[in-house]
Amino acid sequence: MIHITENAAQHIRQQLDKRGSGLGMRLGVKKSGCTGFMYIVDYVDETAADDHVYEEHGVKVVVDNSSLSFLQGTEIDYVRNNILNQGLEFRNPNVKDACGCGESFNV
């Protein structure tokens, strides 16, 4: 299960509205960075057979089957610490270690 907070849903919806189309947000992982994996975020226009679709607050997040085990239980939030520091935050219970810059993680 992937959880989407109301703040994240509002942000995703605004980005889709700016784009003018899209089913939702695609969330995945890829090997990269100094600790192993990094998050991949993109728009999704259509789903594939192995995609898992999660919907909360009227917004869909799509995760491919190969990324699901790394993301299971993740909560997606949109945080705004100040005008310069804002964005999506992934609270992933599978993360065992993260790099100092926050760009990559290990499970």
- Residue 42 pLDDT: 95
Mean pLDDT of 88-100: 77
| Both structure tokens of 64 | 């491919």
Structural domains for the chain: 3-106 (2.60.300.12)
SS3 13: helix
Quick one: CA dihedral 4, 95, 70, 30, positive or negative? positive
- Residue 103 pLDDT: 60
- Residue 14 pLDDT: 95
Give the pLDDT band (50/70/90) at residue 92.
confident
Q: What are the E-state strand segments in 12-103?
A: 24-32, 36-44, 51-56, 59-64, 75-80, 86-91, 97-98
Q: What is the pLDDT of residues 26-80, one digit of tens each?
A: 999 988 766 678 889 999 999 999 999 999 999 999 999 999 999 999 999 999 8
Q: What is the pLDDT of residues 24-34, one digit of tens each?
A: 999 999 887 66
Cα 69 to Cα 19: distance, rounded to the nearest angstrom = 29
